[in-house]
Copies of this chain bind each other. A is one copy, B any other.
């Protein structure tokens, strides 16, 4: 037996395992509907571990928020524009399209996508301190960047009301397709959301985006 070195990635700390189990519970069923006993059992540890590591159930929720910021930040990192921002409208439009594609891929195809979306939407509907973490650590930055790129793509002021709302509308479409997946699948006759279905959804969102960018660029500001 060749002695392989300790598979570090496989050895996850109890902390990590608990966070992942918690995100699964919170994302699928919600914070109140998921008990610490469930989480501890799913993580293969004792319920006291949660108080020990996170100070309580609420602390665990905050840790989940930080975990989400890390997860989604990584998922979007490749698609986020570096400095300087894309110089011309065409490059800017393509950058935005890349962001949309990354977001669709993460939310609709990654196994953690629905959990992250569920957690975030529930936080938005009933904010706690975890929402601040997500907003300040992720959402605000992504939205501001997208607005700046949108400005290059259309020639409109990045922080204008119309641009900020237009970016929200794009994000909203994607998040909605994930959250409302049960209804979408039912109406579409889909057995679930796989690569083909995600492609179709991305197609609709991207078409809406492209049409809006072109029109905003053409019309008089």
Contact = CB atoms under 8 A, between A and B. Distances in A.
Interface in A184-221: 184, 186-188, 200-201, 203-205, 207-208, 211-212, 215
A183 interface: yes
A166 B204 contact: yes
Interface string A133-175: 0010001100100000000000000000110111011011101
Contact of A188 (B164, B175, B188, B207): B164
Contacts of A140: 187
- Copies of the chain in the assembly: 2
Contact of A121 (B29, B121, B127): B121
Interface stretch (A1-9, A30-38, A60-68): A30-38
Contacts of A171: 176
A70 to B, nearest CB: 19
Given A30-B33, A164-B188, A212 B208 contact: yes
Contacts of A30: 30, 32-33, 122, 125-126
Given A164-B188, A204-B162, A211-B215, A172 B176 contact: yes
A58 B140 CA distance: 38
A11 interface: no
14 contacts: A31-B33, A118-B125, A121-B180, A124-B179, A124-B180, A124-B183, A135-B186, A165-B201, A166-B204, A168-B177, A169-B205, A175-B180, A207-B212, A211-B212
| Interface pairs A-B: 5 shortest CB-CB | A172-B176, A32-B33, A32-B32, A165-B204, A211-B211
